[in-house]
Amino acid sequence: QVQLVESGGGLVQAGGSLRLSCAASGSIFSFNPMGWYRQAPGKQRELVATIISGGSTNYADSVKGRFTISRDNAKNTVYLQMDSLKLEDTAVYYCYVYRFPVDYWGQGTQVTVSS
């Protein structure tokens, strides 16, 4: 079984920064894709960023240039550095890992950006 524990959410002013962390326990390897989704009130869950084997990354257009995803394979931990935060970044952020044939999800961490 795989468990994901997120941390680092909170309240921040627009233009500020936050760093989210997600630690995975269980049989996770460097080739298992990991990443972040988010869900704002009244909206569908959307992909924020992913990181796969070899360190390749993918970002939603809305966060490109502001967010950076990284991974520490020794710690089975994925990070999301969020800079220049905007009001529209307010959401619950969920980390995930894909281990065939299942996606595993964290419990979510709230990020609130205020004006």
Q: Which pLDDT tens digit goes with each residue over 80-99? A: 999 999 999 999 999 999 99
pLDDT the model gives residue 72: 93
At residue 17, does pLDDT exceed 80?
A: yes
Task: Give dist(CA 43, CA 21) in Å, integer.
Answer: 23
Q: What is the pLDDT of residues 30-88, one digit of tens each?
A: 889 999 999 999 999 999 999 997 889 999 999 999 999 999 999 999 999 999 999 99
| Confidence band, pLDDT 50/70/90 cuts, at residue 28 | confident
Q: Which residue has the tokens 């299942």?
A: 102
**Termini Cα distance of the chain:** 41
Helix/strand/coil percentages in the chain, nearest 5: 5, 55, 40
Q: Which residue has the tokens 């390897």?
A: 29
| Confidence band, pLDDT 50/70/90 cuts, at residue 1 | confident
pLDDT the model gives residue 94: 98
